[in-house]
Structure 1
């Protein structure tokens, strides 16, 4: 019976993206920790060893946070780039009422560089902030105004507005 419980516990832990011994009290595995710290060498090593790039944290303080969420929170663009190259879901949502994406996290941290990186790499940003799939509203996460500005500039550039940026005037 004890062995069965241990086996079940390890199976659940692997489903979360690691062994039961490598998750901390936040439910973060080694990849979560390396991504949050900005340790690119360790992130690459862990991914090469087969850790799940989209493993959700399972602890009470960050349920559903993926390594990409944590890299966005820490402002680690190189880590985010590596995670996306390895198949990270740019629009992964945390668990709970808000369901924050890495873009929400970056906006909350008011990190323009990370917001720009996510928008440029295709993070979901609805045309209308009232879209029911996109929480939280702007007043909860005022950094999203940068995301909308960057998206507007990107759309203008894509539709031929590049001439307005030239210095030929």
Structure 2
């Protein structure tokens, strides 16, 4: 992703939050969302990220504007490593490459990296709905779990990939799935409520409108998604959609 990947305790940090946290000795009840808020700049956002902020992030965006020639060079370099290639292709929206690999070996749709991220996870957090569709059509499970218990829906909600969120929900994604830390997709969407991200509100609205949503679920740190949204940004008012209203009828 970036020209230089960050290092912690001598380890290169992985693209995904899970691989970084696995290097660190956190107690079981540590607040994952606070860690996301304080160290989110270390977590890559996928090839079409809307993340804005530091100069480092701007440099990442520039690097992501690879020419077709460079993409083809990358594919050539990974031609003898089909697992790595399909994971990379799913993350970088290389739909034709995904189709070609799956035609050769349909079982690649179920592969994963060392952290448990499947091609569907990578396409989801990068916001590539067409790739997600191709993977599901080819037989990908909708709710595979990473080592930290993240589903593709968690990944899409963390980065406000509203089109992918909608697609996954339509194809049976577990709306109330909880990570190993107790985070639901709603928790993750609520933690990403910067007013600069136009899709943040749409993602929250979509989740909050779901009939079977369990908005009161608490993470292992004890927070509901509403409480996360209250301290994370300006969109807490959207949770009025799921608040219980009590009608007071005066005695007659």
What TM-score do you get using the length of structure 1 for normalisation?
A: 0.64
Matched, 1:90 2:213: no
- Map of 1:70 onto structure 2: 155
Choose the corresponding residue for 1:102, options 170, 179, 185: 185
Moved more, 19-28 or 70-79: 19-28
Counterpart in the other structure of 2:214:
124
Q: In angstroms, what is the RMSD of aligned CA positions?
A: 3.0
> Is 1:52 matched with 2:141?
yes
C-alpha contact (below 8 Å) 2:186/2:204 kept by paired residues: yes
Contact persistence 2:109–2:119 (CA under 8 A): no
Per-residue Cα deviation, 1:32-71 (whole angstroms, up to 9, x for no partner): 001111111110011011111011112xxxx110000000
Q: Aligned partners of 1:155 and 1:53: how far apart in 2?
A: 29
Q: Which runs of 5+ in 2 are unaligned?
A: 1-106, 194-199, 248-252
Alignment-derived partner of residue 8 in structure 1:
none
Matched, 1:36 2:122: no
Distance 1:42 1:118, change over 3 A: same
2:190 & 2:130 partners in 1: Cα distance?
26
Measured after TM superposition, the shift of residue 151 of structure 1 is: 3.6
Say how many residue pairs are matched.
128
Shift of the 141–66 alpha-carbon distance from structure 1 to 2, 3 Å rule, reads farther
With the length of structure 2 as denominator, give the TM-score of the two structures.
Answer: 0.45
8 Å contact kept, 1:91–1:124? yes
